[in-house]
Amino acid sequence: MADLITKIEAALRGPGQKGIAGIWTDEHKLVEAARKTRESGIKKFEAISPYPLHGIDDAMNIPRSIIPYIAFAAGLTGCTFGVWFTWWTSAVDWPLIIGGKPLWSLAAFVPVIFECTILFAALTSVGAMIFLNRLPMIDPHTIDPDLTSHKFALFVAESESGYDAAKLEQLFRSQGASDVRRTEF
């Protein structure tokens, strides 16, 4: 039992990675530092901010989310399912003549098919969002508690190709980082 709790705790904490973090007190400097970090050849790194930063996606060159495409595929699946399901229930498994209409009347089932499309697309989008964000990771490694109120950080993991702690520290400092530390995130 105690073992299980430890495992769950570890899962909720997320995979810790060793690396280097720079901490800023000015969000504009962070966005600029992120741009410089990307230009120095680091492709994948994290930015931690208490609130959404304008232009950070562009500065870090974050690709667009694939969730729209997942939603579209799920919507198509839901639509197909709706067509099959209305046909199977109304015309095959339990045929009932209603109002003298044909057993499988598309006009009557379009609302059902439409709702299936929306239901599949919506639930899958939420599920994909949770999965892609590695939620529920409620207790990640903390670089600095102030990052949830008034400070901003960039974190580069050791495993990233082109990782050079000394060079990154120099880069962060030259971009006005108030603090640079070797840490885990």
Partner 1 sequence: MAGSNSNNHPAAHDKSRNVGQFVVSPQLKTVYSILIFVGLAGLVVGLMRDPSRTWMAYLVSFFYFITLALGGLFFAAVQHVTLAGWSVNVRRISESLSAFLPFGAIAGAIFWVGAPKLYIWLDAAKVAESEVLTHKASYLNGTFFTIRLILFFALWLVFKKLLVGASVKQDENGDERLTEKMLKRGIAFLLIFAITYSFFAIDMLMSIDPTWFSTIFGIYAFAGLFQSTMAFMILIILYLHKKNLLVGIVNENHLHDLGKFLFAFTVFWCYIAFSQYMLIWYANLPEETKFIIPRTEGQWLPLSLLLLIGKFFVPFLALMPRWAKRTPTHLAAISIWVLAMQYLDIYWLVYPAKYSTEVHFGLYEICVYAGFLGVFLFAVSRFLSRHNLIPIRDPRIEESMHHHVTY
- Cα 83 to Cα 115: distance, rounded to the nearest angstrom: 11
Pick the closer one to partner 1 by CB: 111 or 162.
Answer: 111
* The residue to which tokens 């399912």 are assigned: 81
Print the binding letters for residues 47-76 with partner 1: x by CB under 8 A, - otherwise.
-------x--x------x---x---x----
Tell whether residue 107 is a contact of partner 1 (CB under 8 A). Answer: yes
Of 28-36, 106-114, 122-130, 156-164, the segment contacting partner 1 by CB under 8 A is: 106-114
Omega before 136 within 30 of 0, i.e. cis: yes
C-beta atoms surrounding 86 within 10 Å: 20
- Cα 43 to Cα 147: distance, rounded to the nearest angstrom: 22
Pick the closer one to partner 1 by CB: 96 or 107.
Answer: 107
Pick the closer one to partner 1 by CB: 12 or 110.
Answer: 110
Tell whether residue 99 is a contact of partner 1 (CB under 8 A). Answer: yes
Tell whether residue 110 is a contact of partner 1 (CB under 8 A). Answer: yes
- Cα 117 to Cα 7: distance, rounded to the nearest angstrom: 37
Pick the closer one to partner 1 by CB: 54 or 134.
Answer: 54
Shortest CB 107 distance to partner 1, Å: 5
User: Residues 22, 179: contact at Cβ < 8 Å?
Assistant: yes
- Cα 12 to Cα 34: distance, rounded to the nearest angstrom: 27
For residue 51, what are its two tokens?
A: 């609130």
- Cα 117 to Cα 112: distance, rounded to the nearest angstrom: 9
Pick the closer one to partner 1 by CB: 50 or 68.
Answer: 68
Of 7-15, 17-25, 102-110, 148-156, the segment contacting partner 1 by CB under 8 A is: 102-110
The site for partner 1 (CB under 8 A) is made up of: 54, 57, 64, 68, 72, 99, 107-108, 110-111
